[in-house]
Structure 1
Amino acid sequence: MSSETSKPLWLAYTGLVLTPLFWAGNAVVAKSVVGEIPPLSMSFWRWVIALTILLPFGLPGVWRQRRVIREHALSILALATFSVAAFNSLLYFAAVTTTATNIALINATIPIMVALLAWLLLG
């Protein structure tokens, strides 16, 4: 295997390891601070911080695709509302009454549920 093909493979494995680590870390942090910070505040500030960090990298692409984004603005808004805002808010509300382990286990089932629902609804 050449070094050119091993680098993307290494990056892929790194991403596969870091993704669940970040999700689990999110559950642990949520559980540890839920008594100090209200769930909706956690969700809001999480996305403000993420936007602040990612905006410089993503804004040029968003600007280039502004026409497509404008055409699909309602769909994008619906997806953002349910998949980002509601999901994280519900996760942080769950942290009030359950353990970080339970939150992480529920999060781990999401890809399976998405595939199952896609199969049931879309064939």
Structure 2
Amino acid sequence: MKKIYVLLFLVLANLFWAGNYVFGEYLVAEMSPLQMTFSRWLIAVIFLVPLAHWIERPNWRNVWKEWKTLFILALLGVISYNFLLYEALQYTTSLNAALVNSINPAVIVLFSVLFLKEKISSKNGIGLVVSLLGVLLVLTKGQLHLIIHNAYNQGDLLMLIAILVWTIYSIIGRKTKEIPPISATSISVIFALIIMLPMVVVSGSNFNFHLSQHAVMGIVYMGIFPSVGSFIFWNISLRQIDASKAGVYLNLITVFTAIFSLLLGNSISFVQVIGGILVFIGVYLTSVKGNKEKVQKLSVIKT
């Protein structure tokens, strides 16, 4: 039986990830995608390793035995996805980036059904459609024709690649089900930092070390909440819930981003509020098990 804390963790994970989008949009003006990715995870690893050792007390030798899989996850989830996201924000608007990202749950469902043989009931499928409709209402302010008339640029294409990378990362992450989630994330981040270090050294002259106060606050936030909090919550949750269902919760990123925008002084229309409600309804429907649905436990490390 699904525990309530799993749903809470999924909501919190996406709340923190929404902040990553908000701060990322501002930080790309002062930091390169490489600098943002490296700085974020350098901060995160300071917390991840002690937390893994204190909370999980893993057998580190057994964790390191899975180094090949963790190395691949580092390339895909820690480096590639985040780099592509920050690179995309340099070329596309926040509307386009969020719009493209909203198809991520559908892609995860498709890949989960094709490659993991997961089953989804008709009610779960309806929940997916309702949730996606809600996201589109939030993004377009009720003007759904914008989906057709929007011109997709380089940033939009980068977001599409990022979504594919994230989906493949989630599928491969199933192989780490025997590894404690925080420990596995910690090792993946260490691998990522080692991989990025030569690139950081070579491009060091292009780094901006004179950041504004807001930029410093932003990168600290990204290093703690999305990088540590979100990934721990997501990893723990995916030990108890199918990837296809958990993926729908990614739609909450858009809703929380809209809420952050409101707090920052931007206006939100009534249609967007309705869209947000539809997202939550869709998430609920997707989380309800069908009577004939088999319960499958899946472990995916998301970073």
Alpha-carbon offset, residue 94 of structure 1 = 0.5
Other-structure match for 2:77: 83
The aligned residue for residue 37 of structure 2 is 43
The match for 1:92 is 86
CA distance in 2, matches of 1:42, 1:25: 14
Aligned length: 115
Name which of 98, 102, 114 aligns with 2:96.
102
1:4 corresponds to which residue? none
Q: Distance between the aligned counterparts of 2:11 and 2:58, measured in 1? A: 32
Provide closer, same or farther for how the CA distance between residues 121 and 17 of structure 1 changes in structure 2, counting only shifts above 3 A.
closer
Secondary structure of the corresponding residue to residue 103 of structure 2? helix
2:58 and 2:6 mapped to 1: Cα distance?
A: 27
8 Å Cα contact 2:52/2:58 also seen in 1: no
What is the CA deviation profile of residues 2-61 of structure 1, one whole-angstrom value per residue up to 9, with x for unaligned ones? xxxxxx73x445433322222221111111110110111001111111111222111357
For residues 50-69 of structure 1, the aligned pairs below 5 Å read: 50-60=44-54, 64-69=58-63
Q: CA deviation at 1:105?
A: 3.8
Partner in structure 1 of residue 66 of structure 2: 72
Structure with bigger helix share is: 1
Match of 2:17 in 1: 23
1:120–1:25 Cα change, 3 Å: same
Cα offsets for 1:65-118 (capped at 9, x unmatched)? 323223211111001111221100000000101123433344443333123113
Aligned partner of 2:226 in structure 1 is none
TM-score (norm 1): 0.76
Larger radius of gyration: 2
1: CA distance between counterparts of 2:6 and 2:55? Answer: 23
Label 1:58 to 1:107 Cα distance change in 2 as closer, same or farther (>3 A).
farther
Determine the structure 2 residue equivalent to 1:117. 111
Task: Measure, in 1, the Cα distance between the counterparts of 2:14 and 2:95.
Answer: 13
- Root-mean-square deviation (CA, aligned residues, Å) is 2.4
Aligned letter for 1:98?
T
CA separation of 1:30 and 1:24: change in aligned 2, threshold 3 A: same
Instruction: Choose 79-88 or 95-104, whichever is displaced more.
Output: 95-104
Identity %: 36
Taking a change above 3 Å as real, the CA distance of residues 13 and 119 of structure 1, as seen in their structure-2 partners, is: closer
- Label 1:24 to 1:101 Cα distance change in 2 as closer, same or farther (>3 A): farther
Q: Secondary structure at the match of 1:64?
A: coil
Letter in 1 for 2:98: A
* TM-score, with structure 2 as normaliser: 0.34
Give ranges in structure 1 of 5+ residues lacking alignment.
Answer: 1-7
Structure 1 residues 19 and 62, CA gap change in structure 2 (3 angstroms):
closer
Gaps (5+ residues) in structure 2? 118-303
